[in-house]
Amino acid sequence: MRWTIAIAAAAFAAASYANDIGQIKTVSGTVHVEREGQQLAATPGMNVRQSDKLVTGSDGAVGVTFLDNSLLSAGPSTVLAIDRYSFDTTTHVGQFDTSLQKGTLAVVSGKIVKQTPGAMRVRTPASVMGVRGTEFVVRVGEAAN
């Protein structure tokens, strides 16, 4: 019985590690991570998972580094969903889908796009952006200032 629990705990630990796809590196102002219906206050060093939603307040901004060295940041009053992320550290094959519902986003693409141009996509309410290795910014809605 004790062993079963230990094995289950180890398996869970391994699984949760595998779910971590990136890490929050910068936080300013109010920033939350929405995960499975919960609102978690974002802090530097916090892990990010697939299906997380980054939500910033009018004074907020957040930056995330992903496993493949893709960098993303969200500016004030932003809702950014991490829809899908996969990355094979050996082959560098992966897929990265996000959607910017409102606000601003900056992207520096990483190894996924280097290996497979177009494997990163950013959706907005009206568009889909296919990324072929680059840095770019996106805004949905009027400028706040």
Q: Which positions lie near other proteins, rule CB under 8 A?
A: 23-26, 28, 44-45, 61-65, 69, 71-76, 102, 104-106, 108-109, 117-118, 124-143, 145
Neighbours of 23 (CB within 10 A): 15
- Which residue's CB is nearer to other proteins, number 63 or number 94? 63
Joined tokens for residue 75: 């500016």
Please enumerate in sequence order all residues whose Cβ is within 8 A of that of 53, keeping only pairs 6 or more positions apart, or say none: 33, 34, 35, 79, 80, 81, 82
**Closer to other proteins at the Cβ: 84 or 114?**
114
CB of 16 to other proteins, least distance (A): 12
**CA angle (108, 109, 114) in 5-degree steps:** 150
Shortest CB 102 distance to other proteins, Å: 7
Is the dihedral angle over the CA atoms 30, 103, 40, 85 positive or is it negative?
negative
Q: Dihedral sign, CA of 111, 113, 116, 122?
A: positive
Residue whose CB is less far from other proteins, 15 or 126: 126
- Shortest gap between Cβ of 8 and other proteins (angstroms)? 20
Q: Least distance to other proteins from the beta carbon of 51, Å?
A: 21
d(CA 32, CA 91): 33
| Residue closer to other proteins, measured from CB, 3 or 25 | 25
